């Protein structure tokens, strides 16, 4: 199943308007960190979003090396995954340490920024 299909099933996106979504309402509710490897090549993006119910959920997007790097699209995909309860993409072994390091950084930053001890990486029943 493609990511777009998954977003459609979650009810977050209508047809093919994903690239036109407006995320301005997240202005003070989101932390963004871009992930790069040791050679400064882009790997992806990690976001932490405080949802309406008070949960803080991470979203992660990964860059396909065959594509041109697009920061805006990386953030939009990570936001979409956060709204789908933190769906994690499959991370190649060679990039896991960079993504995990960025996720840990974002978790620590979000604890301070949102003043809460709990941050969810994926869906968990409360």
pLDDT confidence of residue 15: 42
pLDDT tens, position by position, 75-104: 888 888 887 766 778 888 989 999 999 999
Inter-axis angle of helices 3-10 and 71-83, to 10 degrees?
Answer: 40
Q: Locate 92 and state its tokens.
A: 């190649």
> Residue ranges per domain, the chain?
3-113
**What distance in Å separates the CA atoms of residue 84 and residue 25, rounded to the nearest whole number?**
17
Better-predicted residue by pLDDT, 92 or 118: 92
**14 pLDDT exceeds 50?**
no
Q: Locate 72 and state its tokens.
A: 């805006």
Place of tokens 């199943």: 1
């Amino acid at each position: 199943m493609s990511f777009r299909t998954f977003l459609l099933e979650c009810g977050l996106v209508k047809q093919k308007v994903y690239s036109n979504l407006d995320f301005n309402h997240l202005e003070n509710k989101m932390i963004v960190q871009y992930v790069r490897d040791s050679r400064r090549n882009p790997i992806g993006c990690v976001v932490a979003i405080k949802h309406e119910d008070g949960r803080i959920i991470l979203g992660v997007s990964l860059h396909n090396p065959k594509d041109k790097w697009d920061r805006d699209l990386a953030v939009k995909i990570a936001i979409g995954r956060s709204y789908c309860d933190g769906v994690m993409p499959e991370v190649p072994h060679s990039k896991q340490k960079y993504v995990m390091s960025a996720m840990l950084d974002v978790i620590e930053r979000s604890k301070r920024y949102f003043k809460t001890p709990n941050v969810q990486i994926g869906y968990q029943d409360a």
